Each structure stands twice: as C-alpha cells, then as structure tokens.
Amino acid sequence: MFKKASLVAFASAAALLLAGCGDDSDDTASPGSSSAAGGGGGGSSEQITLGFAQVGAESGWRTANTDSIKKSAEEAGIELQFSDAQQKQENQIRAIRSFIQQKVDVIAFSPVIESGWDAVLNEAKRANIPVILTDRAVDSEDTSLYKTFLGSDFVLEGQKAGEWLKEEYADEAGPVNIVELQGTTGAAPAIDRQQGFADAIAGESKFKMIASQTGDFTRAGGKQVMEAFLQAHKDIDVLYAHNDDMGLGAIEAIEAAGLTPGEDIKIITVDAVKDGMQALADGKINFIVECNPLLGPQLMDAVKKVVAGEEIPPRIETEETTFTQEQAKAALPTRQY
Ligand code: AHR
C-alpha cells in the first residue's frame, strides 16, 4: 500500500538508488511525477492499491465491465481490492468505508443509484483518498468529492434510441404505442436514458408511452414486467428497454404470448453485448444503442495520474455507436463481449 507522506523520503532515496544502478524497472506511477501526497519523489515504484466497489453482476454489460477492470488492473500492476455490492447501495457504502480503513490509494466505484453519497465521500476526502466515479454518476453538488467521472453519456444514448424510432415511423400516422422497461430506479442510466428518449420523441404526438416500469436491469426483471405489460395492453407496438438483458427477458415473454419479437413488437435496447447483438442479428431486436463497458484501461490510466498528482479532466466520456440488424451481423464475429 502507498503510505503517502511517510514514504516520500524513502521513494526519493529508492529512485536515486535505482537510477544509480541503471535499473529500468517498470513504475506504477508516471515517470517523473510526484506522489499523491505532493512529495517530490520522482520515479516511485510503490505498489498502488485501488479499491473498486462494483454495482453487482446484474447484466452481461456488468460482467464485461468487471472483467475489463480486473484484467486492466493486472496489466497495469495495480493491486485491486474488488467488492460486489449486489445492487445494494448500503453494501457499496460499507465497501467504501472498508477501503478507507484499509487506506487504499484510490477508491473507484460505479454508484448503484445517484443520490445519498455525500457522507461517505466526505469521509474519503477527510482521509485524503481520491475517488473516481466510473460508469454511473452521483447527483452531489459538491464536485470536489471526486476527481473525475469516466463513462457514457446516458442522455445521448436515450436520444439515439428515440431518433431511430422517429425515423422508423416517419411515414406512419400513428398512434405508436410504446412500453418502456426502465433500469434500476434512481440509477443514472435509468434516469438519463428515460429523459433522452422522452426528449427525442416529445415533438411528435403520435408516440404514446402507455406503460413504463423498472425491470432492475436484469433478464428476469425484464421478463416479469413484460408479461404484466402484455396482460394489461393488447396494442403494444414498440418496446424500449434500458438494457439488452431486460430486452432479452422481454423477448421470452413476447414469444410465450404467441407474438413475434422484432415484428409484432419492435424492440430497441441499449448496451450491445453479444447476446443482444445475436438477437439483433436474428431479427428479434430492431435497434441497439451501444454502451461501452470496457472502462478498465482508461480507469487504470486515471488512477496512475491521480496518484502521481497529475491533473485529469473532470469528465472522460467513452466513444459509442449504434447497431441496426445488418450492422450487428457484420460486427458479431469480432465482438469482444
Ligand atoms: O450503468 C450501465 C448499465 O448498467 C448498463 O447499461 C446495464 O446493462 C447495467 O446493468
């Protein structure tokens, strides 16, 4: 572990010694940078410890995200303390408190929901442990509680879904009845994807949102809520699901009801994980907005910079695209996750 101030003198001495020996061993902090404690020890080779509090294992996206973080930490030579909150905020808060007690060098986490983080983030700040938000944001007004946010523009993702729908129904008078499977209530991607989609279709009165409910980002949740939607509404034209997994669960419910997904009910989802892309290529989903889970390399880079005391941008966004059925067929053979 990186015992900040107390190691500054040691780091300087070690750097001198290594330089004297002509040693070119790999450093975990950027060359020539100072430590997070502000000391002047260039070329430090201390082990960086990162505490990462993950949301859970609710979806294919999350599994790919966890794999990316674990693999990248190993490749970067960063010691990873990993905790799975099983989609419960109280578990994440407990994990962050434990990281503070262990005096890790950096804490990173993907907040289950947006609100309720100020107290624990203030504890990290008082302990002088920098925090990086990955994937999901917090709604705190105090931006000094974290160094950066690394992830997607979820509002834009919702807008892309809505724009596709407008194009798809450009020549039809409507009404177009839409049902929505929301992500976890209070989570940034659920709030923002709903907002972005609603904004995109707002100007056209033919689009009717007839039901909207959370499926908690899980396949089981998507299936269960879609079953209820199908029982309550006989005239569903479109399903907008906030992730692939809920869309895949809904497909099971639609097929069980004797309907053809992708035809009787058009389906738009977000993520573009392999299972979703396969369903898109098979014609069961009509359009997917990509959300990139491979945040590990950028996170490790940010961790090293923060430990080295370097400035990093307050927001680092990932690049993302969208997929039609034809594009999914072309992309599937080389899809990593
Ligand atoms: O926060 C990202 C979202 O969380 C993904 O879209 C979803 O699949 C996951 O559970």
Report pTM: 0.86
Report how far ligand 1's centroid is from the alpha carbon of 189 (Å).
Answer: 7
> pLDDT value at position 46?
85
DSSP conformation class of 141: S
> pLDDT value at position 302?
97
- Cα–Cα distance for residue pair 113/116, rounded to 1 Å: 8
Residues in the chain where the model's pLDDT stays below 70: 1-45
Q: Which of 84, 109, 271, 288 to mutate to test the pocket of ligand 1 (most atoms within 8 A of CB)?
A: 271
Residues with CB under 6 A from ligand 1: 58-59, 61-62, 135-136, 189, 217, 243, 245, 270-271, 291
Report how far ligand 1's centroid is from the alpha carbon of 59 (Å).
Answer: 7
Q: Model confidence over 68-109: pLDDT tens digits?
A: 999 999 999 999 999 999 999 999 999 999 999 999 999 999
Task: Give the chain's domains with CATH numbers.
Answer: 7-152+293-319 (3.40.50.2300), 154-291 (3.40.50.2300)
DSSP conformation class of 109: E
Report how far ligand 1's centroid is from the alpha carbon of 184 (Å).
Answer: 9
> pLDDT value at position 45?
60
Bridging pattern class, strands 238-241 and 176-182: parallel
> pLDDT value at position 25?
30
Atom of ligand 1 nearest to the CA of 60: 8
E strand segments, 194-332: 207-214, 238-241, 266-271, 287-290, 315-317, 322-323
Q: In whole angstroms, how large is the CA radius of gyration of the chain?
A: 23
Q: Which of 133, 291, 320 to mutate to test the pocket of ligand 1 (most atoms within 8 A of CB)?
A: 291
> pLDDT value at position 57?
96
